[in-house]
Amino acid sequence: MSLLRKFQDLNNFIYNENYYKLIFGKIQIGYVHRKIAKYILLNVKGIYLLDQKIYFENTSQTELKKIILKITETLSEKKKLFIPAGELFSCRNTIEGKELFKLDRKLVEFLGIRGYGVHLIIYIKRKNSYKLWVPKRNKKKLVSPSKFDNSVAGGVRAGEGVFCALEREAYEEAGLKKEQLNNVKLVGTLNYNWKNSPYTLRRDTLYLFDLEVDDKFKPQCLDGEVEKFELMEWKKVLKLMQNTDSIKNNCNLVFFNFMVRHSLINKKLEKNYEEILRV
C-alpha cells in the first residue's frame, strides 16, 4: 500500500446514514454507529434518539456516571465488540476545555468522541544527518503488536494536560526523567478521523514533540510495552514507511511530519509528496 493510501485511510470516515450524532447539552461530541446505538438505546436509561441524534436527558455528574457505566456494561456484554481498556479518558471539546465526563479509553472510539495523544520523536543530528530512536512494540500488545512506533507515544488520561501526559509516557516508555525533557519542543498537532473497524471511529488529536539528544543517550523502557529500541537513519524509517506495514498506522503520519519540518523529504524521495501534504 502506498504511503498516500495509508494516510488517506487514516481519514476514511464519511458521515452518512449509518451514524447518529452524539449530543451533550447543545454540543456535538461524537458519532455512534447505528448497530452500537441499537444496543445502547435498548438498554440504557437517560439517553434518547431524536432527528438522527442521540441526546443525554440529564447532564448532572451523578446521572452521567450512571449512564456511562451502563453503556460500558452493555457493550461489554458483546465481547466481540467491546473489551474495556481499564483506563479513563476525558470527554472535552479541547484539551484545555472543561471535562464533560470520564469514560473508558476503548469506549471513546465506540462513541466517536475526540481523543488526545502525545507523540515524541527523539533524534540525534550530526551535520545534515538525522537518526531517530525507534521502538518496537511488545509482541503481546493488543494493538499493533511487534510494530515500530514513535519514540514515545500514548494517550492523555482523564485529568491530565499534554505536558503531564508526555512526562508520564516518556518516563514509562523511554526512561526519560523530567529534567531530561527541558529541551523538548512542542511542534504542533495532527488530526484524523479514522474508521478503524466497522463500528468504531478514532477522532484523534495528537500533540507532537521533538527532542534532540546526544550520542550518550539511550532510551530504556520501564513498563514492558517496548521490546527494543533501534537508532535508525531517517531514510531507513522512510523506506519502512513506503515499502512495508511494519510501522503503526498513525506513527507513519508523525514520522512524515517530522521529515517535512526538518526539510528532509521532497518530491524525489516520495512521489506523492504534494498529495500527502494536502491530506
Nearest CA to 200 out of 75, 88, 63 is that of: 75
Query: pLDDT for 106-149, tens place per residue?
Result: 999 999 999 999 999 999 999 889 999 999 999 988 888 999 99
CATH number of 256's domain: 3.90.79.10
Could you say which of 113, 137, 154 is where a domain stops? 113
Are 103 and 155 in a shared domain?
no
pLDDT tens-digit map of 29-66: 999 999 999 999 999 999 999 999 999 998 889 999 99
Query: Of the residues 95, 113, 131, which one is the last residue of a structural domain?
Result: 113
Residue 258's pLDDT band (cuts 50, 70, 90): very high
Write down the residue that cell numbers 448532572 correspond to.
Answer: 60
Q: Is the pLDDT at 167 greater than 90, yes or no?
A: yes
CATH of the domain at 64: 3.30.750.160
Distances (CA, A) of 100 to 56, 91, 106, 113, 224: 12, 6, 17, 11, 32
Backbone angles phi, psi at 53, to 5 degrees: -130, 145
Residue type, 277: L
Q: Are residues 130 and 45 in the same domain?
A: no
Same domain, 228 and 255: yes
Q: Of the candidates 91, 113, 135, which is a domain's last residue?
A: 113
Closest CA to 14 of 26, 31, 1: 31
Describe the chain by its helix, strand, coil percentages, rounded to 5. Answer: 30, 35, 35
Asked if residue 269 has pLDDT above 80, the reply is: yes
Q: pTM for this one?
A: 0.95
Q: Are residues 165 and 256 in the same domain?
A: yes
pLDDT tens string 195-227: 999 999 999 999 999 999 999 999 999 988 899
* 267 and 137 part of one domain: yes
pLDDT digits (tens, 9 = 90+) for 232-254: 999 999 999 999 999 999 999 99
Q: Give residue 171's identity as a one-letter amino acid code.
A: Y
Q: What percent of the chain has pLDDT over 70?
A: 100
**What does the pLDDT look like over 14-23, one tens digit per residue?**
999 999 999 9
Domain that holds residue 30: 19-113
Is residue 273 very low, low, confident or very high in pLDDT (cuts 50, 70, 90)?
very high
pLDDT of residue 143: 86
Residues 206, 272: Cα–Cα separation, whole Å: 23
